[in-house]
């Protein structure tokens, strides 16, 4: 019996001109955004990789130089576009692309692509992820709002039930029919997406296919939630029109209102400092230290070294005292940076939790978080990259200070040979594992799970209670 | 007779609407959304105003610090550090004496946050100001929040207001037909045109009164009327809102005139909303990204690196060339032994020039893309109204670009003031401080804003005209019977 229902639903939908138009539009947008996303991500990644290689060239061809001068000369790190960023661009346009790694300072990421874009791009950016998050649910609503309410209005619901089909069976048939129709556009998109990943992903990533598969699962759960909700509303609404109105209201809250309310709520609960306050605090703490973290004193460092080596004059030290002092200053600075930047990142993280928690009102928030996470384009993975770049900076500066300390005496003008620079390891970034992402995003997984389960319960209840006429 | 009929329709509408449960919920809900959006925008303005104040106070403190130290040195004290000796022109004109310049929030920022959460609104100007200065980030903000955008009045107006209009009007004619009252109504001395126009006009007055009322309250509370020339901006804001709302009312009338069922109307109107507000802007952006990809800024970093490597190696040569190019800066007597600061300046200047080249190329690429978006934006009333609203608010690209170009000019003045002294190795004293060039932002005149608004506003009006004509013709064919 259920096979007949599924078949009938599917044929109904596919023969409906309105659905054909909508599905063609959404399907085309999905394929186009996948394609253009892939091309753009690949071009961007090529350019970033080239810039990273050039930065390394510059570093290696410094010539004879004092190691500390080299640390000031520094090196740039460029954030790579990860393999799945073509599916979901996430916050990539709003985080910087590049960071300057130098002695004494942790710098901000610069070059946010959005800053160069027009305001039109802020309302009209469309990635495959946005088609999946916003437009497919709308399509689901159009497919299913009349599924039960329409049958009731036409008086065919009574007939149907009279044939002996169970209510749940009927609802299941309707759901599967809609799913089959949706598959017409989702399966090709999934195939194209998978092919894009296999054929040559734009950038590096750990296990892109696994990420892609989990991503597909997440979206399927999201669509199933919408099908469930839509059928439930259709079962209980007084008319098909009323069902449509309610469902559209849900769609607006889910896609437009809740995300922006989450922004305000997160800023209200966990305010970020203004840029000028942040810079001011950092400057103050760097100059004066804070409780428990004191600025190293050059004279004291020298005294300690003299005592340690049992000599009277700095010239007699077997090492360069300035190198030791520089390194102690680095350690001091790093603590200050960790305090300030750490606090800022933690604020961002808490703000992110607010977005995730608000998923109780809108499943989109959970799906968006998971989607960006799996694509490697969320704030947490930006932080992951920033932390890797910063660690590289610290290691590099420490090694250079070590070169200065070990190979020269205090007060001596020391130039390291030109081949020292290529001995420093180049910057390499390993994107986090899928498990890391999912663990970070457990709240969203839970929320999506709750929505899916909730939709199932609600649709079962609503269909059982649905009035026949 | 005619006006009396209209009055009757309006009066009846009022009674009907007052009795309509959905509208009794939807309209107040919208007023709540508007008010919430306004409160949000106002909090943002306060934050920006406070920051601008802090930035300007920083200038005063910096100048006072310089003055104290210079006076002390004059009285025989040693400079705090040889590298930070404020008597040196490259220190006083450099980072130590840098002058912070800030842009006051746009007059109607409380209504439309626009680009003001993304673009920097203050800079430090010194002799080292160059194109990379303008690459700095704006306010500290969670990238996630930037991506989603703010819940401001402009958002409510662009996305949600059309939905309100559609909800109020999708069955304005079809509902009458479905209830069987249309034939009766049209048997009265009233045409379908007049009937629908009166019904929709009534709804339009309600919607616009709510939207404009909340806007005006916001402007009043945030003191927008107090500062320079906002009245014109307020008018432009109201005009843009009105025309945009009228577009959706006209579309509603047209769809109703086609004589289909209420649910058909609803589906088609929601579809139109989706296409005009969501799909078309996206399609235009995708096309722009494909045809004229935005050149990336990454090149800037590599160019800066290469130019400064090159410049450092050729400092003396560059200085000689610089002096040849600018004989006026040396006051006639070119120094035989260039000082270190002069050498450094020559290198800085060479790097700046290279950066300007790269930046210019980037700007050209960006302009090409913008040009394409500007050409196709006429298809989407949402893009047109967005442009109008944020431009009226003073939070659009144009005002920020204006600020940037004035900062650039000011940095030029600052350099002209200090560079001759650097080249001549001249020492500065506390007397110089009051004579330093100052920065005064010349805000856009009403004419500037009006000129920019002419094309998009006319385009919107033409769209309303086209759709309105369609509705007019369609309604002319509506008959009560059948």
Plot region of B223 (φ>0 → left; ψ -120 to 50 → alpha; else → beta): left
Angle at A403 between CA A397 and CA A406, to 5 degrees: 135
Per-residue confidence (pLDDT) for residue B350, from 0 to 100:
82
Q: Say if the Cβ atoms of B118 and A115 lie within 8 Å.
A: yes
Q: Say if the Cβ atoms of B144 and A351 lie within 8 Å.
A: yes
Contact A74, A103 (CB under 8 A): yes
Mind listing the pLDDT tens digit for each residue in B163-210?
A: 888 888 888 888 888 888 877 777 777 788 888 888 888 889 888 988
Mind listing the pLDDT tens digit for each residue in B310-320?
A: 777 776 667 76
For residue A257, list chain B residues with Cβ-Cβ distance below 8 A: 33, 151, 160
Residue B309 within any structural domain of the chain: yes
Q: Say if the Cβ atoms of A274 and B266 lie within 8 Å.
A: no
Q: How far is it, in rounded angstroms, from Cα A199 to Cα A202?
A: 10
Please give the C-alpha separations between residue A221 and each of A146, A235, A313, in angstroms, as whole numbers: 22, 21, 73
DSSP three-state, residue B312: helix
Q: How far is it, in rounded angstroms, from Cα B45 to Cα B37?
A: 13
Q: Which of residues B298 and B118 earns the better pLDDT score?
A: B118
pLDDT band at B332 (very low <50, low <70, confident <90, very high): very low
Q: What is the mean pLDDT of residues B5-23?
A: 73
> Could you tell me how many helices (H) and strands (E) chain A has, helices first?
21, 2
Angle at A172 between CA A169 and CA A177, to 5 degrees: 125
Per-residue pLDDT at B334 exceeds 50: no
Which residues, listed in sequence order, are joined to residue B427 by a DSSP beta bridge?
Answer: B88
Phi then psi for residue B128, to 5 deg, are: -90, 0
Q: How far is it, in rounded angstroms, from Cα B155 to Cα B160?
A: 7
d(CA A112, nearest CA chain B) in Å: 8
For residue B33, list chain A residues with Cβ-Cβ distance below 8 A: 257
In a mutational test of the A interface, the residue from B38, B134, B139, B143 whose CB has the highest number of chain A CBs within 10 Å is: B143
DSSP three-state, residue A76: strand
For residue A351, list chain B residues with Cβ-Cβ distance below 8 A: 142, 144-145
Mind listing the pLDDT tens digit for each residue in B69-88?
A: 888 888 888 887 777 888 88
Q: Which of residues B8 and B396 earns the better pLDDT score?
A: B396
- Both tokens of B133, joined, read 């200065």
Instruction: Please choose, from the candidates A457, A468, A453, the residue with its C-alpha nearest in 3D space to the C-alpha of residue A165.
Output: A468
Please give the C-alpha separations between residue B400 and each of B150, B281, B294, in angstroms, as whole numbers: 19, 23, 19
Residue B93 within any structural domain of the chain: no
Q: What is the mean pLDDT of residues B368-383?
A: 86
d(CA B329, nearest CA chain A) in Å: 31
Contact B243, A86 (CB under 8 A): no
Instruction: Please spell the DSSP secondary structure of A275-295, one letter per residue.
Output: HHHHHHHHHHHHHH-BTTB-P
Q: Choose the closest CB to A18 out of B139, B267, B290.
A: B267
Q: Say if the Cβ atoms of A352 and B285 lie within 8 Å.
A: no
d(CA B285, nearest CA chain A) in Å: 6
d(CA B328, nearest CA chain A) in Å: 34
DSSP three-state, residue A163: coil
Per-residue pLDDT at B399 exceeds 70: yes
Q: Give the chain B residue nearest A270 (alpha carbons).
A: B142
Q: Say if the Cβ atoms of A91 and B115 lie within 8 Å.
A: no
Residue B224 within any structural domain of the chain: yes
How many residue pairs bridge chain A and chain B with CB atoms within 8 Å of each other? 208
Q: Choose the closest CB to B285 out of A126, A348, A382.
A: A126
User: Which residues fall within 8 angstroms of residue B52, CB to CB, at 6 or more apart?
Assistant: B102, B103, B104, B105, B121, B122
Q: Choose the closest CB to A123 out of B158, B275, B294.
A: B158
Instruction: Please spell the DSSP secondary structure of B71-100, one letter per residue.
Output: HHHHTTPPPS-GGG-TTBHHHHSSSTT-EE
CA dihedral (B353, B358, B361, B363) in degrees, to 10, reads -90
For residue B47, list chain A residues with Cβ-Cβ distance below 8 A: 274
Q: What is the mean pLDDT of residues B334-341?
A: 61
Contact B199, B256 (CB under 8 A): no
User: Which residues fall within 8 angstroms of residue A63, CB to CB, at 6 or more apart?
Assistant: A418
Q: Say if the Cβ atoms of B145 and A351 lie within 8 Å.
A: yes
For residue A277, list chain B residues with Cβ-Cβ distance below 8 A: 54
Tally of structural domains, chain B? 1
Q: How far apart are the first and last CA of chain B?
A: 27
Burial of B433 (0-12, 13-18, 19+ CB in 10 A): middle
pTM (predicted TM-score):
0.89
For residue A246, list chain B residues with Cβ-Cβ distance below 8 A: none
Burial of A283 (0-12, 13-18, 19+ CB in 10 A): exposed
Per-residue pLDDT at B227 exceeds 60: no
* In chain A, where the domains are located: 2-465
pLDDT band at A381 (very low <50, low <70, confident <90, very high): very high
> Could you tell me how many helices (H) and strands (E) chain B has, helices first?
18, 2
Q: How far is it, in rounded angstroms, from Cα A86 to Cα A127?
A: 8
Residues of chain B above pLDDT 90, percent: 21
Mind listing the pLDDT tens digit for each residue in A36-74?
A: 888 888 888 888 888 899 989 989 988 888 888 888 888
Q: Say if the Cβ atoms of A55 and B279 lie within 8 Å.
A: no
Q: Say if the Cβ atoms of B139 and A274 lie within 8 Å.
A: yes
Mind listing the pLDDT tens digit for each residue in A113-131?
A: 877 777 777 776 778 898 8
Taking all residues of chain A, what is their mean pLDDT, rounded to a whole number? Answer: 87
Which residues, listed in sequence order, are joined to residue A98 by a DSSP beta bridge?
Answer: A78, A110
Contacts for A54-62: CB closer than 8 Å, 24+ residues apart: A54/B302, A54/B305, A55/B301, A55/B302, A55/B305, A56/A426, A56/A427, A58/B305, A58/B306, A58/B309, A59/A421, A59/A424, A60/A421, A60/A422, A61/A418, A61/A421, A62/A418, A62/A421
**Domain coverage including residue B287:** 1-38+152-482
Residue B340 within any structural domain of the chain: yes
Residue B280 within any structural domain of the chain: yes
Per-residue confidence (pLDDT) for residue A86, from 0 to 100:
87
Q: Choose the closest CB to B373 out of A120, A256, A348.
A: A120
């Amino acid at each position: 019996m259920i096979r007949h229902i599924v078949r009938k639903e599917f044929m109904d939908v596919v023969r409906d001109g309105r659905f054909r138009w909508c599905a063609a539009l959404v399907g085309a947008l999905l394929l186009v955004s996948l394609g253009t996303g892939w091309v753009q991500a690949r071009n961007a990644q090529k350019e970033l990789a080239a810039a990273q290689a050039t930065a390394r060239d510059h570093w290696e061809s410094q010539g004879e130089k004092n190691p500390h001068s080299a640390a000031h000369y520094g090196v740039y790190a460029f954030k790579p576009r990860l393999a799945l960023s073509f599916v979901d661009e996430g916050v990539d346009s709003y985080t910087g692309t590049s960071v300057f790694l130098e002695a004494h300072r942790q710098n901000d990421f610069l070059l946010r692509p959005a800053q160069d874009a027009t305001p039109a791009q802020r309302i009209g950016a469309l990635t495959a992820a946005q088609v999946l998050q916003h437009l497919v649910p709308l399509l689901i609503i159009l497919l299913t709002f009349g599924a039960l309410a329409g049958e009731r209005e036409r008086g065919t619901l009574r007939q149907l039930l009279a044939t002996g089909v169970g209510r749940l069976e009927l609802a299941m048939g309707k759901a599967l029919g809609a799913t089959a129709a949706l598959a017409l556009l989702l399966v090709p998109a999934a195939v194209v997406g998978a092919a894009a990943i296999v054929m040559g992903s734009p950038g590096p990533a750990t296990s892109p296919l696994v990420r892609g598969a989990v991503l597909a699962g997440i979206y399927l759960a999201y669509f199933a939630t919408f099908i469930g909700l839509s059928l439930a509303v259709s079962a209980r609404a007084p008319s098909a029109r009323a069902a449509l109105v309610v469902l559209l209201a849900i769609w607006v809250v889910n896609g437009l209102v809740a995300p922006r309310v989450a922004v305000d709520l997160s800023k209200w609960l966990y305010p970020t400092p203004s840029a000028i306050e942040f810079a001011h605090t950092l400057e103050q703490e760097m100059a004066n230290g804070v409780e428990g973290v004191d600025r190293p004193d050059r004279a004291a460092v020298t005294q300690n070294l003299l005592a340690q080596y049992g000599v009277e004059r700095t010239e007699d030290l077997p090492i360069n005292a300035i190198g030791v002092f520089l390194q102690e200053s680095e350690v001091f600075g790093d603590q200050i940076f960790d305090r300030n930047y750490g606090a800022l990142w933690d604020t961002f993280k808490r703000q992110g939790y607010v977005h995730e928690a608000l998923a109780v009102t809108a499943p989109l928030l959970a799906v968006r978080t998971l989607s960006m996470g799996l694509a490697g384009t969320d704030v947490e993975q930006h932080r992951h990259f920033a932390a890797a770049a910063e660690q590289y900076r610290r290691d590099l500066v420490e090694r250079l200070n070590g070169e200065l300390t070990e190979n020269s005496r205090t007060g001596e003008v020391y130039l390291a040979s030109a081949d020292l620079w290529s001995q420093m390891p180049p910057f390499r970034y390993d994107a986090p594992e899928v498990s890391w992402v999912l663990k970070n995003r457990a709240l969203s997984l839970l929320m999506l799970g709750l929505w899916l389960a909730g939709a199932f319960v609600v649709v079962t209840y609503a269909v059982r209670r649905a009035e026949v006429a | 007779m005619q006006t009396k009929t209209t009055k009757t329709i309006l009066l009846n509408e009022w009674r009907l609407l007052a009795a309509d449960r959905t509208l009794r919920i939807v309209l107040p809900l919208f007023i709540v959304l508007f008010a919430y959006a306004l409160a949000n925008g106002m909090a943002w303005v306060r934050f920006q105003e406070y920051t601008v104040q802090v930035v300007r106070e920083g200038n005063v403190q910096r100048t006072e610090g310089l003055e104290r130290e210079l006076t002390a040195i004059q009285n025989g004290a040693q400079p705090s550090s040889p590298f930070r000796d404020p008597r040196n022109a490259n220190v006083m004109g450099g980072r130590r004496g840098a002058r912070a310049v800030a842009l006051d929030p746009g007059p109607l920022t409380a209504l439309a946050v626009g680009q003001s959460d993304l673009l920097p609104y203050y800079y430090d100007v010194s002799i080292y100001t160059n194109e990379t200065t303008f690459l700095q980030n704006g306010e500290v903000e969670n990238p996630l929040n930037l991506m989603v955008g703010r819940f401001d009045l402009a958002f409510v107006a662009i996305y949600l207001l059309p939905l309100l209009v559609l909800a109020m009007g999708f069955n304005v004619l079809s509902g009458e037909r479905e209830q069987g009252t249309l034939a009766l109504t049209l048997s009265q001395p009233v045409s379908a045109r007049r009937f629908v126009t009166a019904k929709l006009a009534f709804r339009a007055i309600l919607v616009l009164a709510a939207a404009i009322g909340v806007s005006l309250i916001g402007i009043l509370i945030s003191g927008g009327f107090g500062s320079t020339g906002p009245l014109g901006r307020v008018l432009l804001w109201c005009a843009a809102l009105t025309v945009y709302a009228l577009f959706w009312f006209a579309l509603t009338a047209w769809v109703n005139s086609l004589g289909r069922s209420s649910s058909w109307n609803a589906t088609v109107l929601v579809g139109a909303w989706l296409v005009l507000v969501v799909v078309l802007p996206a399609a235009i952006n995708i096309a722009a990204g494909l045809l004229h990809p935005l050149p990336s800024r990454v090149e800037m970093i590599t160019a800066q690196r290469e130019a400064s490597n090159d410049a450092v190696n050729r400092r003396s040569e560059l200085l000689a060339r610089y002096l040849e190019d600018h004989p006026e800066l040396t006051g006639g007597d070119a120094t035989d032994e260039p000082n270190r600061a002069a050498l450094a300046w020559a290198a800085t200047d060479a790097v700046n020039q290279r950066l300007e080249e790269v930046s210019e190329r980037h700007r050209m690429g960006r302009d090409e893309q913008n040009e394409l978006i500007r050409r196709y934006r006429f298809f989407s009333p949402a893009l047109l109204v967005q442009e109008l609203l944020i431009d009226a608010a003073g939070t659009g690209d144009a005002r920020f670009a204006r600020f940037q170009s004035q900062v650039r000019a000011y940095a030029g003045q600052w350099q002209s003031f200090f560079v001759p002294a650097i080249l001549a190795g001249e020492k500065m004293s506390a007397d110089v401080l009051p004579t330093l060039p100052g920065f005064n932002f010349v805000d856009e005149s009403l004419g500037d804003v009006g000129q920019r608004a002419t094309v998009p506003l006319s385009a919107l009006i033409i769209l309303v005209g086209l759709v309105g004509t369609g509705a007019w013709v369609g309604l002319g064919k509506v008959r009560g019977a059948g």
